[in-house]
Each structure stands twice: as structure tokens, then as C-alpha cells.
């Protein structure tokens, strides 16, 4: 069982290593690979999950086992990043922001306030977005979202995402790459949106900084 057509890239090699876990230890390997995917987002769940479904269709393990173990892996990985967020904490991030160019401690306060208002939706829907699937667990830990709520939301969102790709591998068989192509498009859209958001933030912050300096120079010249 191979992850994708060989292209010699490190990502393909990493994917092949991840899915080889399923060949060795069955559905537990799929769960472990998905847990690692949460901690290392470049490891593509869009490859691992369909291959878990493909293995289930061949009788290596059952479809229920594939869904259960991959969802369990998602939860374990999410709680690891929740722990990282809890360890960082809002106070530590404020101190870090004070020493990072273009960032202010107030930015952390606004982010925390936003997450406290929209955290439920952010966790649930964030589990169905590439890259953000992993990162969204960190602010949950920073704000100390109740563990039970976080776990249930993570399980629900992860089960939906995992089911889509596991079932695609189960029913499409060797043609599962069709779903991977659409998943890549979604990933590119999310990444472009994130880069655009960061660029817009930097543009506004730099413009604000330049205006502040210009106004300060005018005031000094008038005095």
C-alpha cells in the first residue's frame, strides 16, 4: 500500500512512512499517524485517512476500527496542543508580544477575547480546515476551555472530517486520489486566506506606526 504516486519528495516519503504504520500495527497505526499529523501539520491527513479506508475495504481491519482509531488519534493530538497552549498562557504570550516587532500585548488580549466569544464554533469547524485543524487547539489551551467541552467539540469535528476521507478510501478504492486533489484545493484556499490575513495585519500595523512617527515629528517641529 503506497501513499501516492512516487515523486521523490520528502513529503511523499513521510506519508509512506506514516501509512506503513497501518501495515505493521493495523488501525492503531492509523490513529498514531493522525495524532502525529495534528502535531506536525505538513503530514497530510488527506493521504492517511483515505488509505485507512482503503485498508478497511481490503479487510485489514474494519471500517468502524478505522473511524474509531483515527478519531482517537485526532483527540490525542489535539489535547497535546491544548497542553502547549495552557503552558504558554495568555500572560506569557503578552510578554512575548511586547518584544516582537509589530505586535502588542493588546493583540493577545483581543485574540483571547475573540476566542472566548467564538471558541465553540472555532473548535468544531476548525477541525475541518487544513492547518487550522491543529493550530486551533492552542488558543483553547491558552483560554483554558473546559476539558470536557474541548474534547467533545474536537471529537465531533474530527469524526466528520475523518469520516469524509476514510469513507472515500473505503468506497473509491484505488481512485481515492480524486478526493485528495479536491482536499489540496481547499488547503491552498485556507493557506492563501491565512497569508492574506497576515499581510493585511502587517500592512495596517506598519501604516499605523509610520503615521504615529510622522505625527510625532510634526509635534516636535511645532514645539
Residue 201 lies in a domain: no
Query: Is residue 184 a part of any domain in this protein?
Result: no
Q: Note the pLDDT of residue 111.
A: 82
In a domain, 23, yes or no: yes
In a domain, 191, yes or no: no
Asked, for residue 64, whether it belongs to a domain, the answer is yes
How far is the C-alpha of 123 from the C-alpha of 135, rounded, in Å? Answer: 10
Residue 203 lies in a domain: no
Please give the residue range of the domain that contains residue 22: 10-176
Q: How far apart are CA 195 and CA 131, in angstroms?
A: 12
pLDDT tens digit at each of 223 positions of the chain = 555 544 445 556 666 776 677 778 888 988 988 998 888 866 777 778 888 888 888 888 899 999 999 999 999 999 999 999 999 888 888 888 788 777 778 878 888 888 889 999 999 998 888 778 888 898 999 999 999 999 999 999 999 999 988 998 888 876 666 666 666 666 667 668 767 767 766 767 677 767 766 666 555 555 5
In the chain, the number of structural domains is 1
Angle at 188 between CA 187 and CA 190, to 5 degrees: 65
Residue 172 lies in a domain: yes
3-state secondary structure labels for all residues of 18-85: HHHHHHHHCHHHHHHHHHHHHHCCCCCHHHHHHHHHHHHHCCCCCHHHHHHHHHHHHHHHHHHHHHHH
CA 170 to chain centre: 24
24 domain-assigned: yes
Q: What is the pLDDT of residue 177?
A: 65
Amino acid at each position: 500500500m503506497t501513499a501516492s504516486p512516487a515523486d521523490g519528495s520528502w513529503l511523499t516519503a513521510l506519508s509512506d512512512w506514516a501509512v506503513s504504520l497501518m501495515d505493521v500495527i493495523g488501525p492503531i497505526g492509523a490513529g498514531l499517524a493522525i495524532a502525529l499529523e495534528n502535531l506536525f501539520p505538513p503530514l497530510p491527513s488527506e493521504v492517511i485517512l483515505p488509505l485507512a479506508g482503503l485498508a478497511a475495504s481490503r479487510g485489514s481491519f474494519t471500517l468502524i476500527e478505522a473511524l474509531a482509531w483515527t478519531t482517537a488519534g485526532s483527540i490525542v493530538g489535539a489535547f497535546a496542543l491544548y497542553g502547549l497552549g495552557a503552558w504558554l498562557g495568555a500572560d506569557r504570550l503578552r510578554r512575548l508580544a511586547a518584544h516582537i516587532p509589530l505586535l502588542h500585548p493588546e493583540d493577545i488580549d483581543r485574540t483571547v477575547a475573540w476566542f472566548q466569544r467564538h471558541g465553540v464554533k472555532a473548535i468544531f469547524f476548525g477541525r475541518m480546515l487544513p492547518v487550522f485543524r491543529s493550530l486551533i487547539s492552542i488558543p483553547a489551551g491558552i483560554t483554558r476551555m473546559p476539558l470536557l467541552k474541548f474534547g467533545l467539540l474536537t471529537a465531533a469535528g474530527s469524526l466528520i472530517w475523518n469520516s469524509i476521507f476514510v469513507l472515500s478510501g473505503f468506497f473509491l478504492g484505488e481512485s481515492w486520489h480524486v478526493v485528495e486533489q479536491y482536499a489540496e484545493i481547499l488547503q491552498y484556499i485556507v493557506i492563501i486566506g491565512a497569508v492574506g490575513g497576515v499581510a493585511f495585519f502587517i500592512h495596517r500595523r506598519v501604516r499605523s506606526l509610520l503615521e504615529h512617527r510622522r505625527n510625532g515629528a510634526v509635534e516636535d517641529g511645532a514645539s
